[in-house]
Amino acid sequence: MATPTGPSKIKWHVVVFLAPAVLVYTAVMIYPLFNTLRLSFFDTVDQQRVFVGLENFRTLFGNTIWSDQFWNALGNNFWFFLVHMLVQNPIGVALAALLSSPRLRFAALYRTAIFVPTILSFVIVGFAWKLILSPIWGIAPEMLDAIGLKFLYAPWLGKEEYALTTLALVSVWQFVGIPMMLIYAALLSIPEEILEAGECDGITGMSAFWKIKLPLILPSIGIISILTFVGNFNAFDLIYAAQGALAGPDFSTDILGTFLYRTFFGFQLQLGDPHMGSAIASAMFVIILIGVCLYLFGIQRRLRHYQY
Amino acid sequence: MFKHTATTLLASTVLATGAFAQDAELIIESWRNDDLAIWQDKIIPAFEAEHPGITLKFTPSAPAEYNAVLNSKLDAGSAGDIITCRPFDASLALYDNGHLADLSDLEGMANFSDVAKSGWSTDDGSATYCVPMASVIHGFIYNKEAFEEVGVEVPKTEAEFFAVLDKIKEDGSYIPMAMGTNDQWEAATMGYNNIGPNYWKGEEGRNALIAGEQKLTDEGWVAPFRQLAKWGPYLGDGFEAQTYPDSQNIFTLGRAAIYPAGSWEISGFNTLVDFEMGAFYPPVPNAGDTCYISDHTDIGIGMNAATAHPEAAKAFLNWVASPEFATIFANALPGFFPLSSGAVELEDPLAQEFLSWREECESTIRSTYQILSRGTPNLENDTWNASAAVIKGTETPEDAAKRLQEGLASWYAPQQ
């Protein structure tokens, strides 16, 4: 009975258990993804959908009206990502290190407080920060005034040079809880014996963090970086909630997500163009794919994993 | 006896079926979420009282999202029976794609002039697909008490306008003008297209631009930018990040003296202000010049070609085209002026003030709406961006005009 009859026997229970996930994922992710890729090779001519090959991509990259917007959005996206990498992730690691310190009191309270914004809706975050920073009703000008720093205040969301950075920092405020939690979990999983062994060799305090803990949590930091990358290049909601689809002032906060939205669905008198929109979506997909591959093959494989 | 009962039963069944066929619920798509109460309290009851068997449901979405939401719903086949129509190309595209039904034969269409229908007709005028519902007029609303306090009079010319602004600024108790550039569209709609018609001579300039006889870099089209460039210092601290609702609140709280407006603000403002409001039309360049106002065809209403209740929908549209609806609508929503040829008396003094300009000035519509925003780059969106940049001083009027002209010429043959 127990002898297998050959490799051709199908393990039906595997199929049954995988089916729900595969079906749902195919219906809501894989099918739309490939349909979008397909759509980017078509265009509407005289109310008819016709195959045009790479024509949409030629327009996107060859026509300055489109390519200027695309490169502007891509550049903004990189800046958005950079701010997250330089501000969100170091702060997340630092907070996790502080939280995992056994001497810290009320750790659970801080952990919850810092994580709460993550579960808020983008619309609420965008609206609340717009009000906080508002030159008319906001508390930001008054708070700066109270400590004598009023001269530092500017209508940040309305100035080309500050708007994107301001929104990136708002996004950092919202999501700093995610790297914090992941790193915190990684730090907790480091066995006490290793740290104690280090102590015997005279490695304590800060140097214990730099020399023992940090190398052990590097894989987690890698995962966080790639999550940040994917999240930032798919970002749309916060910009749309705070600045609208035209991503003002003067497109200084325009990222690929808002550019895609404007093109695909149209805006005010601009009519939606699903084919050019799909071309942009495909370009975004390729960019994210390249980023993830670079990480997987360039970094992830070289990271040393420790077993304990 | 038995037979008789059977006949009665049969008759009542037939009657019931007849009544059932009349029972239609019409869902109305709209971007006017501000008007929800007016539709529910005034317009819908008035219609339903006259047309038993037809019920109406008004389901608005947010103005900025309306076009995108509606297009998706129409493509998916889940849109309502009655579609509120944006003027010009957005609705024309819906008609061309077969989403809006041709209404040229609707009896009520006879109540409208060709100009009123132009916003919702094909380029050759052969088919009209939406019933013109209302237009909005641009101008400036001002705080009468503030004007008295500072001691200024309503300006008639551009020079007087800036003198008034200077005096209010000097006085210091009011922000001279409530407008921000954060949302961009006010700069174009309440700025450029509000004051512009005086410089490009209304329809004359607009038609010449469409025909390719004038360019956006001509003096008539750059001059409004030059005036906008001078607005910045009068707009209050931090106007760069001031949003449209911020501006509305600043004015209705009595903190600002002048509000560059569209007449659609009237009904909202009436319930919020505790001071007396007045209005003046855009000041002319020189004393004695003819004044031009932007009297923009703004709302039409049409029928989803895929509706399950075409007869009920047509009954409703005919009613919308009637003088009865025009009177209810114009008085329920002061600031939206009916386009039907019949005269309508308005009870609201501010709305009546706006409406009276039609006799004094020449009417035109917004320059970017007809035909000129069909291509990429989109002229209307670019005008938002350029107007905001000019007010903020990050772009000169000449550069802005040049950029718009280059964008238009890149796809619009008559301008090449």
Same domain? For B90 and B27 the reply is: yes
- Lowest-confidence region among A1-5, A61-65, B268-272, B338-342: A1-5
Instruction: Count CA atoms closer than 13 A to B263's CA, side-chain side.
Output: 32
Same domain? For B277 and B368 the reply is: yes
Residue spans of chain B under pLDDT 50: 1-3, 5-21
Cβ–Cβ < 8 Å for A157, A133: yes
The position carrying tokens 């502080």 is: A98
Dist. CA A67–CA A61, nearest whole Å = 5
> DSSP code of A211?
I
The position carrying tokens 């808002």 is: A258
Same domain? For B146 and B203 the reply is: yes
What are the Cα distances from residue A181, in Å, to A71, A116, A118, A172, A186?
Answer: 34, 12, 11, 14, 9
Q: Does A73 fall in a domain?
A: no
Q: Which residues of B touch A269 (CB under 8 A)?
A: 88-90, 368-369, 373, 378-381
Cβ–Cβ < 8 Å for B361, B291: yes
Closest residue by Cα to residue B248 from B227, B230, B220, B270 = B270
Instruction: Select from B64, B185, B241 the Cβ nearest to the Cβ of A134.
Output: B241
> DSSP code of A44?
E
Neighbours of B213 (CB within 10 A): 12
Count how many domains chain A has: 1
Q: Does A285 fall in a domain?
A: no
pLDDT at B90: 83
Q: Which two tokens stand for residue B352?
A: 């009546």
Q: Does A70 fall in a domain?
A: no
Dist. CA B270–CA B273, nearest whole Å = 6
Residues listed for chain B: 416
pLDDT at B119: 87
Provide the pLDDT confidence category of residue A5 given band limits of 50, 70 and 90: low
Q: Which pLDDT tens digit goes with each residue over A185-229? A: 999 988 888 888 888 988 888 888 888 888 889 889 988 999 999
Residue A234 has φ and ψ, to the nearest 5°, of -100, 0
Cβ–Cβ < 8 Å for A181, A115: yes
The position carrying tokens 């041709």 is: B102
pLDDT at A7: 59
Neighbours of B8 (CB within 10 A): 10
User: CB A268 to CB B381 under 8 A?
Assistant: yes
The CATH number for B225's domain is 3.40.190.10
> DSSP code of A27?
I
Q: Does A37 fall in a domain?
A: no
pLDDT at B10: 44
Cβ–Cβ < 8 Å for B406, B379: no
Same domain? For B346 and B382 the reply is: no
Dist. CA A273–CA A254, nearest whole Å = 18
Is the confidence at residue A14, as pLDDT, over 80?
yes
Dist. CA B58–CA B25, nearest whole Å = 11
Strands B82-85 and B130-143: unpaired
Cβ–Cβ < 8 Å for B328, B42: yes
Q: Which two tokens stand for residue A53?
A: 């090959």
Q: Does A65 fall in a domain?
A: no
Dihedral class, residue A173 (left if φ above 0, else alpha if ψ from -120 to 50, else beta): alpha
Q: Which two tokens stand for residue B144?
A: 């009468």
Chain B touched by A237 (CB under 8 Å): no
Q: Which two tokens stand for residue A156?
A: 């940040």
Same domain? For B76 and B161 the reply is: no
Q: Does B16 fall in a domain?
A: no
Domain boundary among B332, B354, B376: B354
Closest residue by Cα to residue A40 from A265, A223, A256, A276 = A276
Instruction: Select from A65, A243, A248 the Cβ nearest to the Cβ of B388.
Output: A248
pLDDT at B298: 87
Same domain? For B169 and B81 the reply is: no
Is the confidence at residue A29, as pLDDT, over 70?
yes
Residue B29 has φ and ψ, to the nearest 5°, of -90, 135
The CATH number for A243's domain is 1.10.3720.10
Cβ–Cβ < 8 Å for B306, B143: no
The DSSP result for A118-129, as a single string, is: GGS-HHHHHHHH
Same domain? For B118 and B163 the reply is: no
The position carrying tokens 């209005």 is: B279
Domain boundary among B354, B373, B400: B354
Same domain? For B45 and B108 the reply is: yes
Crossing angle between the packed helical segments A64-83 and A55-62, to the nearest 10 degrees: 70
pLDDT at A138: 87
Q: Does B2 fall in a domain?
A: no
Provide the pLDDT confidence category of residue A6 given band limits of 50, 70 and 90: low
Q: Does B1 fall in a domain?
A: no
Same domain? For B219 and B271 the reply is: yes
Burial of B410 (0-12, 13-18, 19+ CB in 10 A): middle
Range of the domain at A116: 78-250
Count how many domains chain B has: 2
Preceding peptide of A32 cis, ω within 30°:
no
Best interface-test mutation with A: which of B96, B240, B392, B403 has the largest number of A CBs within 10 A? B240
Same domain? For B226 and B313 the reply is: no
Dist. CA B21–CA B359, nearest whole Å = 47
β partners of residue B138: B262
CA torsion through residues B338, B344, B346, B352, sign: positive
Cβ–Cβ < 8 Å for B138, B280: no
Q: Does B175 fall in a domain?
A: yes
Cβ–Cβ < 8 Å for A166, A83: no
Q: What is the mean pLDDT of chain A?
A: 89
Neighbours of B49 (CB within 10 A): 8
Q: Does A59 fall in a domain?
A: no
Range of the domain at B261: 137-295+363-415
Q: Which pLDDT tens digit goes with each residue over A156-190? A: 998 889 999 999 999 999 999 999 999 999 999 88
Q: Would you say the ipTM is above 0.85?
A: no
Chain B touched by A159 (CB under 8 Å): yes
Element (H, E) at A178: helix A177-188
Dist. CA A257–CA B83, nearest whole Å = 29
Same domain? For B126 and B249 the reply is: no
Chains A and B form CB pairs within 8 A to the count of 119
Cβ–Cβ < 8 Å for A269, B373: yes
Cβ–Cβ < 8 Å for A277, A256: no
Best interface-test mutation with A: which of B182, B248, B253, B411 has the largest number of A CBs within 10 A? B182
User: CB A66 to CB B376 under 8 A?
Assistant: yes
pLDDT at B17: 41
What are the Cα distances from residue B180, in Å, to A57, A161, A178?
Answer: 37, 18, 36
Q: What percent of chain A has pLDDT over 90?
A: 57
pLDDT at B196: 95
Instruction: Select from B71, B241, B249 the Cβ nearest to the Cβ of A155.
Output: B241
Instruction: Select from B64, B241, B250 the Cβ nearest to the Cβ of A156.
Output: B241
Q: Which residues of A touch B96 (CB under 8 A)?
A: 47
Cβ–Cβ < 8 Å for B79, B73: yes
Largest alpha-carbon pair distance within chain A?
Answer: 84
User: CB A267 to CB B240 under 8 A?
Assistant: no
The position carrying tokens 């214990």 is: A208
SS3 sequence of chain B:
CHHHHHHHHHHHHHHHHHHHHHCEEEEEEECCHHHHHHHHHHHHHHHHHHCCCEEEEEEECCHHHHHHHHHHHHHHCCCCCEEEECCCHHHHHHHHCCCECCCCCCHHHHHECHHHHHHHECCCCCCECEEEEEEEEEEEEEEHHHHHHHCCCCCCEHHHHHHHHHHHHHHCCCEEECCCCCCCHHHHHHHHHHHCHHHHCHHHHHHHHHHCCCCCCCHHHHHHHHHHHCCHHHCCCCHHHCCHHHHHHHHHCCCEEEEEEECCHHHHHHHHCCCCEEEECCCECCCCCCCEEEEEEEEEEEEECCCCCHHHHHHHHHHHCCHHHHHHHHHHCCCCEECECCCCCCCCHHHHHHHHHHHHCEEECCCCCCCCCCCCCCHHHHHHHHHHHHHHCCCCHHHHHHHHHHHHHCCCHHHC
Cβ–Cβ < 8 Å for B318, B106: yes
Same domain? For B39 and B95 the reply is: yes
Q: Does A92 fall in a domain?
A: yes
Residues listed for chain A: 308
Q: Does A58 fall in a domain?
A: no
What Rg, from alpha-carbon coordinates, does chain B have?
Answer: 24
Best interface-test mutation with B: which of A161, A268, A280 has the largest number of B CBs within 10 A? A268
Chain B touched by A65 (CB under 8 Å): yes
